[in-house]
Every structure is written in structure tokens, then in C-alpha cells.
Amino acid sequence: MKPKVVVYKKMNAGVLDFLRETCEVVYFEGLNAENYRDFLDELKEARGLLGSGLAVDRELLDHAPQLEVVSNASVGYDNFDIPLLKERGIVATNTPGVLNETVADTILGLILATARRIPELDQFVKAGQWATVLPEEQFGVDVHHKVLGIIGMGGVGTAVAKRANLGFGMPILYHNRTRNEEAEKLYGATYCTLEELLAGSDYVCLMTPLNPETEKMIGKREFALMKKTGIFINASRGKVIDEAALIEALENKEILAAGLDVFAQEPVEPDNPLLSMKNVVTLPHVGSATSETRIKMARLAAENLIAGLRGGIPPNVIH
């Protein structure tokens, strides 16, 4: 008998067919108030769960007594209660690697858009306000050859360093808990403390996972350490920063601008002060959102799920 798996996120048809070769798939294109009860009912006999973003915690797991594998179609797994999954012997997996280049493209887009004020000037032109040669107050700042600090030089961080260093001639500072020799050798990245990075960078790019150790790791003290001309970029998770402290730093002109793909609450509340700041460029958590990359992530998530259900060690098991 094929193992029953529940997919709770819109999936590419080819990936669903691939899953159906070995599994009985119950498919929810998305979860909402109407179908959530049915979803919980389906979990009763599910041996696998595949999607992203849903809190896989005690409340959910209590509805899923047969669960063997939870597979995220994302690299971040802050939605998983890892200690509880371990306690229950449930294998957890994610999708690192396949999205690095796409997310790095998005981050370079945020850096350029913020520094050169592209969305703001786009609005200015479209509103018919371009009447004369632009005054200096509307100029941007250079990106090329400025110092980029990367907090979290992992898969995505290294792909950002490659673009910034080889393409834009940017010297790279980075901070991790451990050294990244590849980034040092290939992109001349210099390892430093968090404080040295914040004080020495023109652009600070945050790319760590969200976990109890990193939650609010960037707050009032850290923004105060940045240059007044510094630009802050976050594509990790909104809760890795103290969002109120970022708002304050921008309001008090302690930093110049910010580019954000992620927020403490998603979708972001319409009255969040960040949304009314001209010097803040926002995206709706789309770091990896190209069709090509999302298919690769879905396929990898499906492969992880199947490997786990077969009793093997999936390629991307979370330890």
C-alpha cells in the first residue's frame, strides 16, 4: 500500500505526479479557515507532510499520530519544533542549495533598488513629476566598491558575496559562528566580529536562520553601531531583527535606508510604519520566487519526503 502524504502548498503538476508514483497524495492547494478542519482530519493517517511555513508544533502533531516525515519546500525551518519532532522520531527535511543563486539575485536587486532609490524614482517619473534636471537631494549612493557586510555567510550569503565582489568590486566583511573558507578564498571575504562588521560596512546584509539564538539579534544597539550612511538589507526572517528598533533607527536617521524581503508579521500589516517610508524598499517574501527555482525546491522536498518514507536518510535531513 502506498503511504499517505498530505501536501498543503500549491505544487507544480509534474512534482505532484512524481509524488503520486510512490505515495497516495492528499492535496490542498493552500490552507484557509474553510479547509483547515479537513486538513487536520487528513493528518490522522498521514505518514508524510509537505509544504512550507505552517507551524509544525505540538498542536499540529497531536493530530498526526502516524507521521514519519515532515518536508519543508524551503531552506528555512523555523516553522518546525525540532526538539519535539526528534522526541517523536519524526524526520524533518528542508531544501538548501537549489535556491542560493535566485535568492542572491533578489538581494542584489534590493541593494541596488535601495541605494539608487529605484522604486521611489519610478513613482516620481510615473506621477509626471519629472519637470527638470534632478536635484542632488534625489541622487542615490554608489554600490560598486562599497563595503558589504554579510551576517550569515552560508549558501545564500556566499552567492551574494560572489556577485558583490566579482561583479561590483565590493570588499566583503562577514560574520558567522564559524569561518567560511570558500568565501574567504574565492571572494576575499574578511571574517570579523558582529560589531566590526556593523561599524565597517556600507551595506549590511542579514542572512542567518531564525532560531532562539538569532531571534532579535539585530536591535537598537546593532543599528546604532552602523554608519549613518549605512543601508540595511534583510532577506532572512523578520524576527531575526527587532523591527521596532529598525523603525526607530530609520526615523532617527541612524541609518540611511533599508531593503526588506521579510517582516516580523507576514503578510505585513498595512499600517506598519516601514511601508510609508520612502527610503525603505519592500518585497513580499519573494527571495526564491521564480518558477524555475520553486519547481527545483518542490522536487527536492518531494525527494526528501520519499527517501524518508522509505526508511533511508533523506539528502537534506535536519539534524
Ligand X SMILES: NC(=O)C1=CN([C@@H]2O[C@H](COP(=O)(O)OP(=O)(O)OC[C@H]3O[C@@H](n4cnc5c(N)ncnc54)[C@H](OP(=O)(O)O)[C@@H]3O)[C@@H](O)[C@H]2O)C=CC1
Closest distance to ligand LL5AMS7Z from the beta carbon of 57 (Å): 18
| Cα atoms in the 13 Å half-sphere on the side-chain side of 159 | 18
Q: Which residue has the cell 536591535?
A: 219
71 part of the interface to ligand LL5AMS7Z, by CB under 6 A: no
Is residue 136 annotated as a catalytic residue, yes or no?
A: no
Name the residue nearer to ligand LL5AMS7Z (CB basis): 180 or 236: 236
The DSSP H or E segment spanning 18 is helix 13-22
Say which entry of ligand LL5AMS7Z, ligand X, none residue 207 contacts (CB below 5 to 8 A, set by partner kind).
ligand X
What are the angstrom distances between the C-alpha of 116 and each of 100, 126, 139, 280?
A: 24, 17, 7, 12
Is residue 237 annotated as a catalytic residue, yes or no?
A: yes
What span, in angstroms and rounded, lies between the C-alpha atoms of 9 and 63?
18
Q: Is the peptide bond before 267 cis (omega within 30 degrees of 0)?
A: yes
What span, in angstroms and rounded, lies between the C-alpha atoms of 223 and 266?
22
SS3 298: helix
246 part of the interface to ligand LL5AMS7Z, by CB under 6 A: no
Question: Which positions ≥6 away from 223 have C-beta within 8 Å?
Answer: 232, 245, 246, 248, 249, 254, 255
Q: Which one of 47, 285, 294, 299 is the catalytic residue? A: 285
Is residue 47 annotated as a catalytic residue, yes or no?
A: no
| CB-CB contact of 240 with 269 (8 Å) | no
Give the binding site for ligand X (CB under 6 A): 75-76, 96, 99, 103, 152-157, 175-178, 207-210, 213-214, 235-237, 261-262, 285, 287-288
Stretch that binds ligand LL5AMS7Z, among 68-76, 171-179, 185-193, 265-273 (CB under 6 A): 68-76
Name the residue nearer to ligand LL5AMS7Z (CB basis): 75 or 150: 75
**Region 1-40 residues binding ligand LL5AMS7Z, contact defined as CB under 6 A:** none
Q: Which one of 47, 117, 175, 237 is the catalytic residue? A: 237
Closest distance to ligand X from the beta carbon of 167 (Å): 19
Residues that bind ligand LL5AMS7Z (CB under 6 A): 74-76, 99, 287-288
Catalytic residue numbers, as ranges: 237, 266, 285
